[in-house]
Structure 1
């Protein structure tokens, strides 16, 4: 049984770590409300939004992130289900290829990928930004969902099969609802990585018409912002969607992470 002293020490330790984690965030928010050559207060956000033209870049990021999350999520569920519950011909080799996608950094593939997409006339299009990130997210999603399906109770699957349920019904009606925390964790991580991706949009859409939010912030820093307050306000605007998504789904996200840690 944990004593009061141990519990108090745990709270103090957590408070220290929380302070270290939140201090940079608080610093940026305070700077965004300052008046360093800017209107000051909440007016900084409106000024940064207008000056940096974040409307179009945020819309592009929302479209790309939504597409990547949905497409990569669906394919990850199906691939993870196949690798986790079925005997797939050549499954070991195929799964090793998926794992290879987790080890190859974007910097290694972005140049040859650019020339491949240019051959098909896809550069400076939505697909040039979204499809490579679908492939990247699919590698992690398959690995993550395979671990979940392998740890799912086999008795439930066997009982469903005895009742006449097919493969698709077992996946979508039984395993997917039960695996909501794991799926939400995958969605949050995929959204966060896609939203923050910088190199692929920079290389694949160089004409600036499909500029994403991180790219918009970078160009805002270099061309438009004359003070740190507006730059900080722009950073808050770009980071806000990730924070909102995490706060909205944090219960399932934390549960999925903890379940994964316990199963491992």
Structure 2
């Protein structure tokens, strides 16, 4: 049944209104970042970004965030593929119990585990290191990634798997040559989500590290806002610098991301 012209107009109008609500804060921050510095430094436009970059040491923070985000994405996606394949295609004793343990990782908020996790990592001598920032986020991402990839593998074509088995393919070959190539939309969606969550993580770096060289971009922005409060313009420029990588990743992969989300919705 086709929608009438009035229905289409109402749908577009509603989308435009909600789009304006969503974009208004972003546009206001960008406009503020490009305006004259209200802190009295005399900079304006792109000069605000250069000044914020220099004062806030965002180069160091962005490198740390990029290192952590890329390593967490690679490790968690790889482990999620393996665990999702096991839970989605294999039948073994204790599979249900193990899967529910993974689900606990999704349901458990970071605030509930960060203090005991800090003491555990301190006992191992890992606090104030790169590993204290990356490893907890790998564990959190694998919990969701396992749930996500299990749903995909459970709904994948059984005929492909059976044909591969008849051809003599083992589990390893079936996974990487038969099931993973068609899973690109689901994998891209997982990559974008994990990258976004890791990049924006604030609490774990705040608790686990004290060295300035190990601060991530959101944590560095918080310290920048604490030490540079004479004007809003440079804070807005710093916020744009920190948020830009996530926007670029999503813009570059948004077609596959939306396809993966729609594919998951249809299968559910």
SS in 1 for 2:214: coil
SS in 1 for 2:213: coil
* Superposed CA offset, 1:22-79 (max 9, x none): 1110011011111123511111111100010001010000000001000000000000
SS in 2 for 1:179: helix
Alignment partner of 1:129 is 2:123: no
**Aligned match of 2:14:** 13
Q: Is the 8 A contact 1:125 1:210 kept in 2?
A: yes
Alignment partner of 1:22 is 2:23: yes
Q: Is the 8 A contact 1:114 1:123 kept in 2?
A: yes
d(CA) in 2 for partners of 1:231 and 1:170? 51
Q: Is the 8 A contact 1:82 1:88 kept in 2?
A: no
Question: How do 1:33-112 and structure 2 match up within 5 A?
Answer: 33-35=34-36, 36-37=38-39, 38=41, 39-112=43-116
Alignment partner of 1:3 is 2:4: yes
Q: Is the 8 A contact 1:44 1:233 kept in 2?
A: yes
d(CA) in 1 for partners of 2:213 and 2:247? 26
**Aligned match of 1:160:** 164
d(CA) in 1 for partners of 2:200 and 2:139? 16
CA RMSD of aligned residues (A): 0.9
d(CA) in 1 for partners of 2:48 and 2:18? 30
d(CA) in 2 for partners of 1:67 and 1:198? 17
**Aligned match of 1:145:** 149
Counterpart of 2:122 (choices 118, 121, 139) is 118
* Superposed CA offset, 1:125-162 (max 9, x none): 00010000000000000000000111111111111111
Aligned pair count? 264
Deviation at 1:17, TM superposition (A): 1.1
Change in Cα spacing, 1:43 to 1:225, as seen in structure 2 (3 Å) is: farther
d(CA) in 1 for partners of 2:253 and 2:48? 29
* Superposed CA offset, 1:227-263 (max 9, x none): 1000000000000000000000000100111111111
TM-score (normalised: structure 1):
0.98
**Aligned match of 1:202:** 206
Alignment partner of 1:253 is 2:257: yes
d(CA) in 2 for partners of 1:60 and 1:88? 40
d(CA) in 1 for partners of 2:83 and 2:121? 25
TM-score (normalised: structure 2):
0.97
Deviation at 1:226, TM superposition (A): 2.2
Counterpart of 2:176 (choices 168, 172, 176) is 172
